[in-house]
Structure 1
């Protein structure tokens, strides 16, 4: 199949003078733009991890919180991604907002959140999402979807009254970045790329990258 005809000519532009001095503030501004642009799940991000043999894995997860400490997501702690993070905490995130001709790439270390933070977030989840966390033994082989649905029904009955407790095998990670890149598509493939890099004094330095 020939794909040469699939070509989008971007028209954006990003100047150094437009950037915030702090990558978290810049991310907040761009995330706000993505949220108001009616993009589907603007908080979706691709998470890259590496296993003990150096083989990379990539999947989409949802950003659930961000501040000047990093970017937070939640998952089953027995999943492939969680086991790989335990072996090698170096990860990368990609926010792909192509409807705005933008991407953000975050590189850093994933740190397990305190249990109190996980419990606080779990209680805010919709009840069916809480049940889903109990049902799924993420990344494990399963015979059929019917088995999942049966277990969901059983647990829904078991937890019919009162709060649903957070599973001990479910938790959150914060990605603490050392590098953040903001990419804006430009005409003639002359894209604008700026990277924020932490120096030895833990100060953010901003550099323009060639497209």
Structure 2
């Protein structure tokens, strides 16, 4: 039986060497192509995984919104003189050693038609000044008129957060309110109301 097998092998036609080498090259090319295709698929899979991981990450935090601009302290600035003393709202505080001086000043103001003058009923810090006038953007002209009633001797203090009422702190230097003539002269000397230093 072995002799028959050997005889069959001997009789089998052998392919030329060139044909065998060509077949070997074809197989090699197939293996190279398959390997390259496998690498491409691996790279694509890695890219997809990276994209998937990136998609799982939370989006980058957005930058905080810009801070709101501070409110304009001079918004609503009114430089007009009041048409009538009765239009001026004034709260009087006692900043002098003399008790009850705020009540006296309120009475004198009302005699001069400052009908909205009231005693605040609070003690202010004591001051040696004639008076201190605290006012807001809506009361620039009102403060000018009240200062003229004090012969332009009161200290002006602008407060952007204050409402339309003027706060009058009567100090130890106060003696009396001006007469009508003295008030008019003081108004002429003061000239037109101008913005406070904080609004220039």
Bigger strand share: 1
Which structure has the greater CA radius of gyration?
2
Fold shared, TM-score > 0.5 on shorter chain: no
TM range (shorter): under 0.3
**TM-score relative to the length of structure 1:** 0.25
**Which gives a bigger RCO, structure 1 or 2 (Cα 8 Å, sep 6+)?**
1
Bigger helix share: 2
